[in-house]
A and B are shown apart, each in its own frame.
Chain A
């Protein structure tokens, strides 16, 4: 699975740098570094709902899920609730 975290101007200002750092820590904690590839992306056109990110899985562009309102505080929660169930399948 690939997770593209927006580093466009708006999301950058809303703290996407911290979100990426936290994401790395969380992936390490849950031993998911192999299953999840972290990437940065330019503006995903969801500036109002930033920090936003896009999940792509099964190598299929159909399987896309947007994640909104990410922050350093809720990264772990989002990971456990939305990402972990997908990669454990």
Chain B
């Protein structure tokens, strides 16, 4: 919510408290930081209260309003009646004076508008019978119905909120007025901006800041200019009770017959009523998103007595009014049209099909309804709601507490992590689901976060693909990884209904290298032996030939000698 409500970065600490408390789950927890999803948020402001880090802040229009006050325009303040509980001991006359000191030309209570709204409600309910009637004074409630409970739209009163009604009345009376609403509400900021009739909204917190900046103290002031002061307040205005629970119900001088009058406060209770709205009949529902209604608004000034004391102050204020002024029996509607349309708003976001939800649930080990614990640990009410958020990119898949615990505690997980063999698990689209340290080393993966990324970016996935296609495991005795020059023995198996495949890799690089060296030595030795034998043979043959030659020569010489001797004897 860039314009109205935002989270301070870096103070968010993964606690999911805001998400757990958010009635419409309009919070996106991505990368350990929460963001508000603008078009889903109803601006109830609940998250601003529950955040333990106080990391949420409301965008202020203070500067813009100061500029407006400094200009030549006639700036009129419409002050929500809950001022009485935020500035205890201040009556409206001194509030007016204080506001005039700030630069407002005139101030009036929004209750004037609320009174007109009550009369408009009366007119509608008296004229035709509604199956149910939901008050439209709370802008966060209107947004809740418009966004999430279209079935309740036809019961929502087609009437302006008191703020808009009052602005219309003021504009009618003072055509050139610039109107600033002052109240305890964040949602009014959006309502005002969208209405186009209101120039700005100040919260009571901002007003208190302005007072202290300017050194204005509300209790020491006495009324200065009584001339323009409201002439409407001659009669008791019961609508001053609007900011408390049942305040609207009690603002009717006379209630239309045929309805049961119920007040519902608090976002959770409102949601419960709206979920069952079709089973209700003949009920007038005064609904307020804030527990205890507007007096407990997110930007109301808190008192030590809590909202009970605040409500008591408002009640006392109304009773005082009743005592001092004559009763107002008027039921005539305002001459202006205070009708308003509350169209259906469709928040963005895609709806996952059953199969897609199942696939997301399976990623955190949920394979059937028995595994869906709906524990709410992640902040979502149900596992399916979380799956929806994951599908839309509003949440990380592994924020599931039981899954994280199981994974952290499981011994097999430790065994896989510290295994001397490399282990990698891939899903059917060959993205890495898990990989252990040894496998990273074998594949030479340096990136830290590879989970969910396609395995093909890091290694050759042919074998895995073939295993998936044939739906059978594969064994590979010797597999070479060129990147790290390593050899592995690769075993691939399919897991759980064929949607996960895992590979176990035994590092055999050392064995392979040793064998290679050994055979090299053998070959060398063999070659040397051959050489020696050849040489030996040659030497033997050479010796033999020399011996044969000399023997032959000796034989010839001896034969000659023998012949000579024989010839000598005969002669």
Interface residue ranges, A against B (CB under 8 Å): 29-31, 76-77, 80
Contacts and interface: CB of A to CB of B under 8 A. Distances in A.
Contact of B150 (A29, A31, A76, A77): A31
Interface of B: 150, 346, 351, 353-355
Contacts of B353: 76-77, 80
A76 B150 CA distance: 22
Nearest to A25: B354
A77 B351 contact: no
A30 B353 CA distance: 10
Contacts of B150: 31
Contacts of B351: 29-30
A33 to B, nearest CB: 10
A71 B150 CA distance: 30
Given A30-B351, A77-B353, 6 more contacts: A29-B351, A31-B150, A76-B353, A76-B354, A77-B355, A80-B353
Contacts of A80: 353
Nearest to B150: A31
A30 B351 CA distance: 7
Contacts of B346: 31
A29 B351 CA distance: 8
Nearest to A75: B354
B549 to A, nearest CB: 102
10 contacts: A29-B351, A30-B351, A31-B150, A31-B346, A76-B353, A76-B354, A76-B355, A77-B353, A77-B355, A80-B353
Residue of A30, A76, A77 with most chain B CB atoms under a 10 A cut-off:
A76
A77 B357 CA distance: 13
Contacts of B355: 76-77
A80 B354 CA distance: 11
A77 B346 CA distance: 22
Contacts of A30: 351
Contacts of B354: 76
A76 B355 CA distance: 9
A77 B355 CA distance: 9
A76 B351 CA distance: 11
Contacts of A76: 353-355
A29 to B, nearest CB: 7
B523 to A, nearest CB: 64
A80 B355 CA distance: 12
A31 B345 CA distance: 12
| 7 shortest interchain CB distances as A-B pairs | A76-B353, A76-B354, A80-B353, A30-B351, A77-B353, A29-B351, A31-B150
A89 to B, nearest CB: 15
A77 B352 CA distance: 10
A36 to B, nearest CB: 15
B52 to A, nearest CB: 35
B346 to A, nearest CB: 8
Nearest to A31: B150
Contacts of A77: 353, 355
